[in-house]
Amino acid sequence: MKKRSPLFYAQLILTLSVCAFLIVPVVQSVMAGITENFLVGIKGGVTLRWFGRVWELYRDTIFRSILIGLACLFATLIAGVPAAYAMVKKQNRFTRLFEEFLVTPLAIPGLAIALALLITYGGFTEFRRSSFFILVGHVIFTLPFMVRSVVAVMSSFNLAELEEGAASLGAGFRRRFFQIVLPNAMPGILAGSLMVFTLSIGEFNLTWMLHTPLTKTLPVGLADSYASMRLEIGSAYTIVFFFMIIPLLMAMQWVAGPRKKEIPMQPHDEMREKIRGPEEQETVSIPNYRNNNRQPDKITGTSLRMENCAKTFEDGTLALEPFDLAVDAGETVVVLGPSGCGKTTMLRILAGLESPDPNGKVFFGDEDVTDVPIEKRNVGMVFQSYALFPNMNVAENIAYGLKVRGGGRDTRKIRVAEMLDMMQIRELRNRRIGQLSGGQKQRVALARAIAIRPRVLLLDEPLTALDAKLRDALRIEIDTLLRSLGITAIYVTHDQSEAMALGDRIVVMNIGRTAQIGTPREIYFEPKNQFVADFIGTINRLPCRIREGNLVLPGKPISLEQACHVRTRGREMVDVFFRPEHATVVEAGQGHLRATILASFFMGDRTRLIVKGSASEHLTIEASGHQSFNTGRQVDIEIDPSSLLTLHE
Amino acid sequence: MQRRISPYLILMMAPALAVFGAFFILPMARLVVTASAGPSGFGIYLKALTTLRYVESLMYTIFLSAAVTVVTLVLSGISGVFLTRNDFRGKKILVAMLTFPLAFPGVVVGFMIILLVGRQGLVGDVTQFITGGKVVLAYSMAGLFLGYLYFSIPRVITTIMAAAEKIDISLEEAARSLGASPWRVVKDVLIPALVPGIISSGAICFATSMGAFGTAFTLATDIDVLPIVIYTEFTLSANIAMASALSIGLGLITWLVLSLARTAAGATVAAAG
């Protein structure tokens, strides 16, 4: 037993006193409700007859309260849930104002609201005399609680992306709302429902003003009994009320419980990934579609074309300048660029999640799909955060697109099994999404996108959420997959090594426009401008003078004939560029440059040196891994003349 | 795409908009109109502010609500933090008991106070046994105070507990590693971290107390709090204009307190009940 400090006991005593203050009268009322005479106490005898009296006198109030509570719940569900969805979905001035209005009843005393209702609708006698009058007050009072509760849960998961995921699989608006939005918002709807019902049952402030002698609710009846009946009856009636709200409170606790547990999922998830056995290790396991006799048919991808696709956002920013791209059937094109360069916008236009500015056109094959929404485009899309539906298990996620398309149950089963085998995740088929590791989610997302045999596969930074080692493994997997399927794929990334490894062609983008389109080799060896050269790998800049057909360097000069890629355009000074691997350390007196070593990084197969020459900025060069270099040493550097480039700014 | 969904979104907000427009916005507007439609027009507000009975009642209500807020915050603050930080047997039951009265309507709270400190209350019996004199508090300011405390404590405790759970415990450990005494840790780390929760739950507590009707109604005390005044103006004196003006005033005060708290705490704040 841990030793507790005096402070602990002081706090405990205080807490217990507070508790006593709250609970002692509750106990008293329970006692009073079951004793013959409260003043005499228990020894006067125990009885249940007061409950009989309550039943006689106030039976109708109990039923009326339950009915009003249920009706109120129904009304708040119909009005509150769609409104909450709209508010989460579209956040603009209008919805914010609406939200602001919706919560004002919480800030205004019930008495004032009741007065307002009486003044406005008191004249409608039929309405005034019915329970509907009370119901209206309850709905206004409880609606904010429902909306809040649902909004809280809807904002806790990435609603927009889940919906986009469903849309990419072909689900229309109604289907998305009922199959994706509602099931995932269920904890909020449930919590809100319990809250609304409990509040409605216990509401007094409004109800007292709105009731008539014929429309008494339970709390009104309570007030009545406290004022006019003997204490024992009031107490028994109170016990009835307790019995009604205790299950509701317990249910609320229960609903709030599991949600708390789901929060630490993330660290737990990572841990499992670490402690997994070797057979489950995520190493390079090439999916077995090659030597699989149940090989899925090759998906014949379509060619696609974007013409003059620009995108201006609502706030006026130009996210994408007029953009043209043609992709052959079966080709993998990687769109590469720093964040904010417009690459995701471009992909979303292609997917049909955004529409291009007028005059922009998107073609799949010969079909103009510019105005076709994503759910009709038949594209497979893999999202950065995967957008797997948490309300469905792995197999259901993969089957979703097929289900939307209305295929038979059996064909669906076969196709899902095929996908699970292909991605080697058969053992995960019944897992919940929350139980998957990052790499597993990635595979499920791929399987789900491919299962619908899309015309085009769109991948939005699919590996960004994974750690470096897993990323390398999955990159190889995706590469093999894309090639064996022969599918047209557009792959967006900011990682140059991913781009080099995966792309048949690479589109390098910068600030909303194309910087260069070419094969990985072209991009690397013949970058069109300095941005591309800098973004792909490392490049060194060397300013030098030109004299008599030679580049003048501190050491040996280089003749312009040898430096075949250098364009001088008649200038006397040019900046020439070269990659680190095109320079070597040579013996003293043999090099083009002489430089001091500032830092050296041993990388195993080679050593990377940062050097400072007399006439240049810092240069990065590579030497073999066998040599070791001390900082501060002078070295001679020779550059391969044919690799020297001149670039546009 | 986004523009294409818009009609759906409007449709989805339509039921809420309709209910809200018809049964909240319109009546509230009517309330404002009614207040100034009496014989004295807009002068009704001036009249409300110069009539001693109303001003006195307003002052009582504000004073009572402020006092309840302070005491509730202190008690619930200590208990709430204590309950989040310590684990002991029976804690769950204790928390359940502390939050049970959350769902009580004001009338039930009033009844609880009568049972505790009323004419036949427990405290009366005990004091009579010890000192011979019966202590009866229920029908005075003290009774109201206890009643408001009764319904405020559970609300504030739940908010404080939620806020305390979110505090990064390593902050406190860091403070202790730097040599801070337990008291300094409370002052420099714990309370600043709880401030948003304290502000928001304090504002809710204050606003709820300002508008509380059921408890005062059941206790039928000799002190008229503002909601009771409004009620009597409306039902007994049939002075509808004055009742409207007073409830607009009351609504403005609670709304203002909650808005200020929301700006200060940066969280959504609301009164209930």
Domain tally, chain A: 3
> What's the average model confidence in pLDDT over A247-260?
74
Whether the Cβ atoms of residue A338 and residue A512 lie closer than 8 Å to each other: no
| Top-ranked range on mean pLDDT: pick from A36-40, A151-155, B136-140 | A151-155
Given A224, A258, A292, the domain boundary residue is A258
Separation CA A206–CA A198 (nearest Å): 15
Please answer yes or no on whether B1 and A29 come within 8 Å at the CB atom: no
The string of pLDDT tens digits covering residues A316-356 is: 888 899 999 999 998 999 999 998 888 999 999 998 888 89
- Alpha-carbon distance A198 to A444, whole Å? 41
How far apart are alpha carbons A99 and A85 in whole angstroms?
A: 12
Per residue in A194-237, pLDDT tens?
989 999 998 998 898 888 888 889 999 888 888 888 888 888 88
CB of A173 within 8 Å of any CB in chain B? yes
Residues A551 and A445 in one domain: no
From A490, A525, A560, the end of a domain falls on A525
Q: Is A529 exposed, middle or buried (0-12, 13-18, 19+ CB in 10 A)?
A: middle
Give yes or no for a contact between A510 and A341, defined as CB atoms under 8 angstroms apart: yes
The Cα B231–Cα A5 span in angstroms is 51
* Number of Cβ pairs < 8 A linking chain A and chain B: 256
Q: Is any Cβ of chain B less than 8 angstroms from the Cβ of A8? A: yes
* Same-domain check for residues A612 and A503: no
Predicted confidence (pLDDT) at residue A544 exceeds the cutoff of 60: yes
Identify whether the C-beta of residue A215 lies closer than 8 Å to the C-beta of residue B224: no
The residue with greater pLDDT, B104 or A291, is B104
Would you call A428 helix, strand, or coil by DSSP?
helix
> Could you give the residue ranges of the DSSP H alpha helices within A452-592?
468-485, 496-502, 520-525, 530-535
Do A521 and A400 reside in the same domain of the chain? yes
A71 and A159 in a single domain? The answer is yes
DSSP, collapsed to helix, strand or coil, labels residue A622 as: strand
Mean pLDDT of A600-616: 81
pLDDT of residue B164: 86
CB A450 within 8 A of CB A381: no
Closest CA to A350 of A157, A204, A515, A168: A168
Same domain, A510 and A556: no
What local confidence, expressed as pLDDT, does residue A298 receive?
A: 55
Amino acid residing at A628: S
* Shared-domain flag, residues A328 and A474: yes
Looking at chain B, list the stretches that DSSP marks H as alpha helix, in order from N- to C-terminal side: 2-20, 26-36, 43-50, 52-85, 91-99, 106-117, 122-131, 141-166, 169-177, 182-185, 191-211, 214-219, 226-235, 240-265
Q: Do B2 and A90 touch (CB under 8 A)?
A: yes
> B1-26: buried (b, 16+ CB within 10 Å) or exposed (e) per residue?
eeeebeebbeebbebbbebbeebbee
Per residue in B25-57, pLDDT (tens digit) is: 899 888 888 888 777 777 778 887 888 888 888
| Domain CATH number, residue A616 | 2.40.50.140
Domain around A204: 44-258
| Mean pLDDT for the stretch of residues A529-539 | 86
Asked whether residue A552 falls in the same domain as residue A515, the answer is no
A570 confidence band (pLDDT: 50, 70, 90): confident
A497 lies in the same domain as A571: no
How many Å apart are CA A242 and CA A27, to the nearest integer? 11
Q: What angle do CA A401, A432, A391 make, to 5 degrees?
A: 55
User: Do A387 and A451 share a structural domain?
Assistant: yes
Angle at A58 between CA A55 and CA A63, to 5 degrees: 90
CB nearest to B258's CB, from A80, A107, A203: A107
Residue ranges of A 12-41 with Cβ closer than 8 A to chain B: 12, 14-16, 18-19, 21-26, 28-29, 32, 38-39
Residue A292 has pLDDT above 50, yes or no: no
Half-sphere exposure of A191 (CA within 13 A, CB side): 21
Task: Mark whether A518 and A613 lie in a shared domain.
Answer: no
d(CA A357, CA A349): 10
Kindly state whether A115 is in contact with chain B, defined as any CB-CB distance less than 8 angstroms: yes
Question: pLDDT under 70 in chain B at which residues?
Answer: 1-6, 179, 266-273
- On whether both A80 and A198 belong to a single domain, the answer is yes
Q: How far apart are CA A617 and CA A610, in angstroms?
A: 10
Compute φ and ψ for A368, nearest 5 degrees. Answer: -85, 110
Tokens (6 digits) for A637: 């550097």
Taking a C-beta distance cutoff of 8 angstroms, is the pair A188, A147 a contact? no
**B116: phi then psi, degrees, rounded to nearest 5:** -80, -50
Kindly state whether residue A32 falls inside one of the protein's structural domains.
Answer: no
Would A18 be classed as within a structural domain? no
The span from the CA of A286 to the CA of B266, in Å, is 51
- Chain B partners of A145 at a C-beta cutoff of 8 Å? 272
Looking at A258, A291, A314, which one is the last position of a domain?
A258
List the structure tokens of A83.
């409104």
User: Is A74 near chain B, with CB under 8 Å?
Assistant: no
Q: Closest by alpha carbon to A512, among A324, A340, A355?
A: A340
**Given a cut of 50, is residue A84 above it in pLDDT?**
yes
Q: Look at strands A304-312 and A318-327 and give their pairing.
A: antiparallel
Q: Is the pLDDT of residue A40 over 80?
A: no
Residue B94 to residue B91: CA distance in whole angstroms: 5
Asked whether B144 and B221 are in contact (CB, 8 A), the reply is: yes
Whether the pLDDT of residue A17 is over 90: the answer is yes
- Report the C-alpha gap between A614 and A171 in whole angstroms: 64
Residue from A149, A161, A160 nearest A185 by CA:
A149
State residue A263's pLDDT score. 37
Nearest CA-CA distance, residue B62 and chain A, Å: 14
Q: Is residue A299 part of a domain?
A: no
pTM of structure: 0.78
State the architecture of B42-265 in CATH terms. Answer: Orthogonal Bundle (1.10)
Q: Mean pLDDT for chain A?
A: 84
| Predicted local distance difference test score (pLDDT) of residue A264 | 38
A335 and A422 in one domain?
A: yes
At A615, the pLDDT band (50, 70, 90 cuts) reads low
Report domain extents, chain B. 1-36, 42-265
Instruction: Give this complex's ipTM.
Output: 0.87
Which pLDDT score, from 0 to 100, does residue B196 have?
84
Q: Predicted confidence band at A258 (pLDDT cuts at 50, 70, 90)?
A: low
Judged by DSSP in three states, A141 sits in helix
Give yes or no for B105 touching A (CB within 8 A): yes
Phi, psi (degrees; rounded to nearest 5) at A445: -60, -40
pLDDT surpasses 60 at A432: yes
Quickly count: other Cβ atoms within 10 Å of residue A277's Cβ.
6
Whether chain A has a CB inside 8 Å of the CB on B108: the answer is yes
pLDDT of A143 strictly over 80: yes
What's the CA gap between B227 and A423, in Å, rounded?
67
Over residues A142-158, mean pLDDT: 88
With an 8 Å Cβ cutoff, is A69 touching chain B? no
Model confidence at A259, pLDDT cuts 50, 70, 90, reads: very low
Q: Strand A505-510 and strand A332-336: pairing? A: parallel
Residue A316 resides in a domain: yes
